[in-house]
Amino acid sequence: MLTKPQVTAVLDFRTATKKYSALPGSVLRAYEEIHSADTLFTASTAEGKDAKLSLAVVKRSLATSDELGKKAAQVDKAVDVLVTYSMALGQLASDDQLEALDSDAGDLGKALDGSIAEYNKLTHATESINPFGAAAATAVRSLGGILVRVKQAEYLQRFVQGADPMVQKLAKDLAGLMQELGSEGPGCACFSAEKLKLEANFLSYFSLRPGFMNHGDVEAFASWMAKADARKKLAAMVEASSTRLGKAHTALAAAVKPDGSLKGRLEELRSLSEQIKAAQSLQKKLESD
């Protein structure tokens, strides 16, 4: 059977995953907002003197938005898988409905496999994730008349260990998206490139208005530049949290084995919680500004 500290570790990972789930989408939405603002500035500067050129800028922006939409779908589906998995951990660790453990585990396994299947359909998902939920539930159910507490431990152990390749893949994919948004370079779909465009648009915009620096316009440019810098920092923090998510789950999978020890492994869970808390704090601050 699982010890109380092992069950606590499972639930702590579940809680951390639920808190993490809102972070990747917030970074992508922030990038879309800055990109849209940048497009409007570009269309209204030097190129904006020609309506055809201005329209071309808007069309290029729409094409970029389509690509962002695909990335947003990947983030949403990846988070759906992680949230479904965290819900399964919570229910399997609960003592409330042990008499329905077999049917609950079967339903949870099917729901998890369904969310994995949806993620695998995405063109941005370069590698498929093997569904494991229903198989794990069936394997434990076939053990027959063992004590319910022993069976509960078997369910949790098989789900956590079976989920590790899935969590590693999702953590890697999400970290990759955050790394791209937080990268450097004028040609990337990233916050630093948007800031460079904002700076160029600032010069173009006010060169068309020599001797007239409207306070409101200057303030608008400055605000969006500051947002680009701050959101880049958030992307880096969420990237680090994504990477830590994978490491923490590997430690958890080792810790819940029948002969597993929590020694040296709880540190990964604590680090995950601390990184997510720091990213949440920055996210809330940025959303309130």
| pLDDT tens digits, one per residue of 46-90 | 554 566 666 666 666 666 666 777 888 889 999 999 999 998 888
Residue range 119-176, pLDDT digits in tens: 988 855 567 898 888 888 888 777 665 667 777 888 888 899 999 999 999 999 999 9
Give me the residue label for tokens 């060169």. Answer: 207
Query: What average pLDDT does this structure show over 30-50?
Result: 75
Banded pLDDT at 287 (limits 50, 70, 90) = confident
Higher pLDDT, 265 or 132: 132
Query: What average pLDDT does this structure show over 169-194?
Result: 88
| Long-range CB contacts for residues 259-266, cutoff 8 Å, separation at least 24 | 260/6, 262/5, 262/6, 262/9, 265/9, 266/9
Residue 211: pLDDT above 90?
A: no
Backbone angles phi, psi at 126, to 5 degrees: -70, -30
Nearest CA to 271 out of 97, 20, 7, 1 is that of 20
Amino acid at 196: L
Q: Say how many domains are in the chain.
A: 1
Nearest CA to 75 out of 248, 239, 247 is that of 239
Give me the residue label for tokens 């994504």. Answer: 242
| Strongest mean pLDDT among 23-27, 255-259, 268-272 | 23-27
Per the prediction, the chain carries an average pLDDT of: 83
| Strongest mean pLDDT among 105-114, 132-141, 209-218, 262-271 | 105-114
Residue 59's domain comprises: 4-288
**Percent of the chain whose pLDDT exceeds 90:** 31
Residue 275: pLDDT above 60?
A: yes
Comparing 61-65, 104-108, 218-222, the range with the smallest average pLDDT is 61-65
Distance from the first to the final alpha carbon of the chain = 49
Q: Tell me how far apart the alpha carbons of residues 198 and 121 are, in angstroms, rounded to a whole number.
A: 36
Residue 111: pLDDT above 60?
A: yes
Backbone angles phi, psi at 130, to 5 degrees: -75, 125
Residue 269: pLDDT above 80?
A: yes
